[in-house]
Structure 1
């Protein structure tokens, strides 16, 4: 069967290639979940590729009112309205003659305009019948016959409330359930493909967001198929950035492509050690730092106190700093954004400064460990040597856990380091090596000194 790509970011990935030509799909969910925006986004995307779409509303909302809201979206092109994206109301036919008259209207308009996409917004029961659910079943059956015969993909939008739609749901080719999930003070939008004929899909629930560019979907990271390594990481060691510590490592640095967890309480020097690690980046092998609490200007100043020229690395392009915003992002949204930044900047070194930002999400308590494990795998496949910092107190506050040690997270990392303040001097830190994979070390503890010439170890 021929695919009908939606071109909506992330959605075709969930569907393993898109919808099917001639298929009938139900989009159900509460008002405001994003169904109408998604349908218009798919319609305008088709029109931009030279196709035609027919958008039929079954309720009394005017098209002009709906389009006023859509004009705020970048995909909505006014010049395509009524030429490639056609709007039609079926409300009068439904009210006066019932669903049979709506079918006749659709058949006529689909043939007249030669559309390849039909959207029926507001699937409702025919209240004039003694058995309204039977009327809807017949409507869907006739619509499915039309769609198949004319090779038109059809989207049926419904709130999923009121009368049950079990009868016609057994007949359609796919059912997409939209959800606006609320947890305490936070919320996130989710979609679940409850039914899909013709191919496998990414099962379970996936998050999405609505932006000025339309909907963007984020397939659940650990559910994605495992891919082959994208690059050869090579064998050259990756220095941690402290000469004496690197010298104590078997090959003079960390294993390329490895993931390191740096654990320490606030003020222990995790960020400075992370900046020292990033100092080994070059323009040809750039680095990325995702900062959870500090701005780029603050990081430049902090690095300058220890002789780390963060400003110069930013100017040459050897380093890029992304400031994690305070917006209420979903876990997978953060994960996909991170991988997108890695790909765009062709990063070889990565620092995520503050794992509490990942933990402070709705889904982390249920699947955070598996998510982190898959994220580290994706980074390794890209040849990225990564360092994540973890403040146990911040992790406990974000997750509400009584066990703030982070031992479950540490199991996913190749290397685990602990950094703590020294009681002997304010500028001294104690670095302990708790775990190393694929390499050895001649000693497990170091005393670090923070000075104007950088980090030194004894």
Structure 2
């Protein structure tokens, strides 16, 4: 089929091979890569990254034997396009005019009809035997053509173009600026094997880019909107399902990790179960970050690598605060045992955060991870991502625990003296273990108490114990006795019993969350 084409007959089908796009995360979204020899549309609004996506795929796959042909039509001239595209790290100057060739069709489109355009493209394809063909902007061809061409002629043109390019075993990308309302009954989209939609969302002061696979023949792609970011390396995509496949890494005999606080380890039944997600919740100044710092410091003391993801202060400030507690975080950073990630780019997304943390876990072999704090994390997100914060945390915690790392997250609560809140996000179900810190007023003094609220991995202490923050970190005292309603924050002294008589007089059953 086709003039000089190589396509096989229906009686001799070939297995569809996958083409790696060279775009981080994109192959996963596509379901394992792009079907080779497919006819695809890259569409969306201006500034979404359409041209950059096509260039990145092109430079990743073009060779002198199977070059890439990039047809430009009344858009940016090649010299202007290359001026900007060469700033990306994927750009390979040595491939120009050999593996990557630019051809300007503007004159043909302006002066002639669709048949002439098709003839010009086919002529270049037959001469070069390309592996990749890009037409940018195909929308311009369509607009010029529809001035004197009916819809049937346009559809016939698109079908003939697809047939020729597929018969020459070229993977094709037609780039165009479209609105979502133009998708219905558009002959270009009907013929296409794949339709990749790139968009920008402006919300208050933030801009968020998204990618959606609206159509892909022959394989199951990942549905939904995926975050997209353009960096100095080009486009990076963040699949919604990243990290959620595969089994959770757990050994048959789950070991316990020391928190760095002996008394707390006893309350936890021997320490934090390895691979768990622990949430430590409490009001401002209650010692959440101090606890997290001790957890990381204990791991470093035992030779375990650690990662701290922070959103509210810079790494040098975090390391300086650890030093005031007698903990050296500078040396472990220098020798690669500790990574402090300061995650505050503009328009941050949960998917990007997850990707960066998991990359750091794999790079360092970390066993311990601190996220400090969830409130700072939420504020760092672009407004649109805050709406889905709970769902995104579910995906992130699931992905991280599958790596086998033990997570300690801190969350700040506005203290209430009528209930024992655990999280402002209703995400306590995401955590395997929960430690609650709170203030209580006793005899005119504001004192701090902690309790282990939840442990999925086994039994734990039910004691409510007082603690203090010292120059060496959290110091946990004895169980408070002789009071009723400690978890309300306004306890009452029990009458008829002494808090010093050694009997178990504290009751948490009389207090409700």
Whether these two folds match at TM > 0.5 is: yes
Alignment partner, residue 346 of structure 2: 327
Alignment partner, residue 501 of structure 2: none
Q: Which moved more, 1:161-170 or 1:116-125?
A: 161-170
What is the alpha-carbon distance in structure 1 between the residues aligned to residue 399 and residue 278 of structure 2?
A: 14
Alignment partner, residue 246 of structure 1: 265
8 Å CA contact 1:221, 1:335 repeated in 2: no
Taking a change above 3 Å as real, the CA distance of residues 311 and 139 of structure 1, as seen in their structure-2 partners, is same
8 Å CA contact 1:221, 1:375 repeated in 2: no
In the TM superposition, what whole-angstrom CA distance separates every residue of 1:97-152 from its partner, at most 9, and x where no partner exists?
12211111111111211210000011132446544433432222012111221110
Structure 1: state its 5+ residue gaps.
395-402
In the TM superposition, what whole-angstrom CA distance separates every residue of 1:160-214 from its partner, at most 9, and x where no partner exists?
1597661221111011111101222222000111110010000011010011111
| Residues 1:191 and 2:211 are matched in the alignment | yes
Cα distance, 1:64 vs. partner?
Answer: 0.3
In the TM superposition, what whole-angstrom CA distance separates every residue of 1:306-364 from its partner, at most 9, and x where no partner exists?
33333344344432211122422122112222222222211110000011244233444
Matched residues, number: 448
| Residues 1:174 and 2:194 are matched in the alignment | yes
8 Å CA contact 1:176, 1:193 repeated in 2: yes
Which residue, 167, 174, 179 being the options, matches 1:156? 174
| Residues 1:418 and 2:436 are matched in the alignment | yes
What is the alpha-carbon distance in structure 2 between the residues aligned to residue 382 and residue 94 of structure 1?
A: 54
Higher-Rg member (1/2): 2
Structure 2: state its 5+ residue gaps.
1-15, 416-420, 478-513
Alignment partner, residue 8 of structure 2: none
Taking a change above 3 Å as real, the CA distance of residues 230 and 412 of structure 1, as seen in their structure-2 partners, is closer
| Residues 1:91 and 2:106 are matched in the alignment | yes
Q: Which moved more, 1:42-51 or 1:191-200?
A: 42-51
Higher relative contact order (CA 8 A, sep 6+): 1
Which residue, 348, 363, 367 being the options, matches 1:348? 367
Which residue, 395, 398, 409 being the options, matches 2:427? 409
| Residues 1:26 and 2:41 are matched in the alignment | yes
What is the alpha-carbon distance in structure 2 between the residues aligned to residue 30 and residue 127 of structure 1?
A: 21
Alignment partner, residue 206 of structure 1: 226
| TM superposition score normalised by structure 2 | 0.81
What is the alpha-carbon distance in structure 2 between the residues aligned to residue 112 and residue 374 of structure 1?
A: 49
Q: Which moved more, 1:408-417 or 1:201-210?
A: 408-417
Alignment partner, residue 413 of structure 2: 392
Alignment partner, residue 382 of structure 1: 403
Cα distance, 1:21 vs. partner?
Answer: 1.6
| TM superposition score normalised by structure 1 | 0.91
In the TM superposition, what whole-angstrom CA distance separates every residue of 1:367-395 from its partner, at most 9, and x where no partner exists?
3223222222222221111011111359x
| Residues 1:309 and 2:328 are matched in the alignment | yes
What is the alpha-carbon distance in structure 2 between the residues aligned to residue 289 and residue 456 of structure 1?
A: 22
